Structure 1
Amino acid sequence: MKIFIETERLILREILHSDVDSMFEMDSDRDVHLYIGNNPFTKKTESEANVEFIREQYLQNGIGRWAVIEKTSGNVIGWAGLKLITEMCNNRSGYYDIGYRFIKRYWGKGYASESSSAVINYGFNQMQLSEIIGIADTANLASVKVLERAGLKKIELFNYDGKLHHWMRIEQPLTQEYNMVY
């Protein structure tokens, strides 16, 4: 197992089939899915299929969401990472989207901000990306704040699945290294 990113409190690594139980705990929670389609999973097979889908992205695109492990407990607490978006969204495709999702009992601990900053650092320094995009439902104020804290700026509003969303972006800084404090 290759560790991709390590921060002060977290390890981000590839998602494994053994992570299905944690992924199901997260994705079966209605509150977790409130701003992402409001369609929580009802069967563990949905999480199994999702894990397989993410693992396929690693093979096809060289990148995908990573499991986030809390160092102190060793628990998988959610996922974070970059995803290459190849389908059209807001009349764009071929961009890298930053995302994160956590089991509800780990909310409010700063893990979304910590992992997002680390993911952006990875995208700019390891992948040499010129920009990273973030999308957030305008009603999801916590997620918008996480993206802003990570340096993304609101660019425009657009309709996504019938709801207003922010299209947010951060561009590769002029300096060679992008370092954020985790």
Structure 2
Amino acid sequence: MNHFRTDRLTAERLNESHLADLVALHLDPEVSRYLGGVRLAETTKAYLATNMAHWDRHGFGLWTLQTKDGAFAGRAGLRHILVDDIDEIEILYAFKREFWGRGFASETATALTDIGLSHLKLPSLIGIINVGNAASRRVLERSNYLLERSTNRKGEDVVIYRKRR
């Protein structure tokens, strides 16, 4: 599933041509504040390589998101992640600031949830959200994810939401 569409976005499988857009996204301190902090270009290049390898290994991963006029809006996807030594599938998304507060995250979360639970037949998906990120918490709650627990990951207080098939 290299592509998908929502009402307002087109998603394309992450590839090397997306590096410049990802670097710009990850260098924005407001965008990155809940994503572990600003990532320099070399870190984003490694991130891209890791996530392209995830696609090769698992048949799904991260997509870049474009508006109908072709503007880069952000990135989102599904990926394997270890949480307390358990292999989970995480839903994730990040948007350029100009797309915040316009429902794009909710639209994307709905599409990713459908892909993960209906198309890929995964048993469940999780979202790992920094406790201070109220907007992302609302996105998952609107998509009927249930708060499972609070924990600390990489020195940050987070909450884990889950939705089951």
Give the letter aligned to residue 61 of structure 1.
Answer: H
Q: What does the per-residue CA deviation read over 1:79-120, in whole Å, with 9 as the maximum and x for residues that have no partner? A: 1110012x3x2x242211000011122211111110110000
Higher helix share: 2
Unaligned runs of 5+ in 1: 173-182
Partner Cα distance (2:86, 2:63) in 1: 21
One-letter amino acid of the counterpart of residue 60, structure 2: I
1:20-55 CA-to-partner distances (Å, cap 9, x unmatched) read 1111110001111111222x1233x33332222211
SS in 1 for 2:149: strand
Cα displacement (A) at 1:3: 4.3
Q: Structure 1 residue 64: deviation in Å?
A: 0.9
Instruction: Could you tell me which runs of 5 or more consecutive residues in structure 2 were left unpaired when the two chains were aligned.
Output: none
TM-score of the two chains, using structure 2 as the length reference: 0.93
* Structure ranking higher in strand proportion: 2
Q: Is residue 78 of structure 2 the alignment partner of residue 79 of structure 1?
A: no
Corresponding position of 1:177: none
Quick one: percent identity of the two aligned structures? 27
Instruction: Report how many residues are paired.
Output: 165
Bigger radius of gyration: 1
Partner SS, residue 108 of structure 1: coil
The aligned residue for residue 164 of structure 2 is 171
In the alignment, structure 1 residue 5 sits paired with structure 2 residue 4: yes
**TM-score, structure 1 as length reference:** 0.85
Give me the whole-angstrom Cα distance separating, in 2, the residues matched to 1:92 and 1:36: 21
